[in-house]
Amino acid sequence: MSAQNFTISYETFDGIEDLSETDKILCLKAKNALASSFSPYSKFKVGTAILLADEQVVLGSNQENVAYPSGLCAERVALFTIGSNYPNAVIKTMAITAQTDVFKIVNPITSCGGCLQVMIEVEKRQKLPIEVLFYCIDGQILKVKSVKNLLPFAFVEDRLER
């Protein structure tokens, strides 16, 4: 037996004003995506903005359903939109944010395991890292340079691609 360790690299920013202009705009677009969230059950809105290599931005928001498993997270809404409408697009950066009137969000929210699995599959397919910004409105932002930093034990089975 041997013990193993992971080191996860990420950057923190105290506020949106500390970001590059491109990242700042992407975070604000993620915030704008909150307007299309359909979240009457949780009251927890999530918005995503994805910057493509051609500088186009695709938005997504969480879409709930009274039968909870039938809903979909903002990240997957945006990623599946890209897969359907821009199948050869390369993703550079994703910005994800959340908002609720039920309580104050004081830390950046991060993606669920299902979204991380989809994100890592897209990153693997495009053979380029995807930067991810977790944006707490009026608060801290976390930035990772690759989805691999978020899901070190991602399910990848190359034999299924044959």
CA–CA distance, 19 with 32 (Å, rounded to integer): 18
In the prediction, which pLDDT does 160 show?
66
Q: Please give the C-alpha separations between residue 1 and each of 52, 85, 125, 152, 153, in angstroms, as whole numbers.
A: 44, 48, 33, 20, 19
List active site positions: 75
CA–CA distance, 151 with 155 (Å, rounded to integer): 9
Please classify residue 89 by burial: count the beta carbons closer than 10 Å to its beta carbon, then call 0-12 exposed, 13-18 middle and 19+ buried. middle
In the prediction, which pLDDT does 153 show?
82
Class of domain 11-150: alpha beta
pLDDT tens-place string over residues 66-111: 998 899 999 999 999 999 999 999 999 999 999 999 999 999 999 9
In the prediction, which pLDDT does 109 show?
97
What average pLDDT does the structure give for the chain? Answer: 95
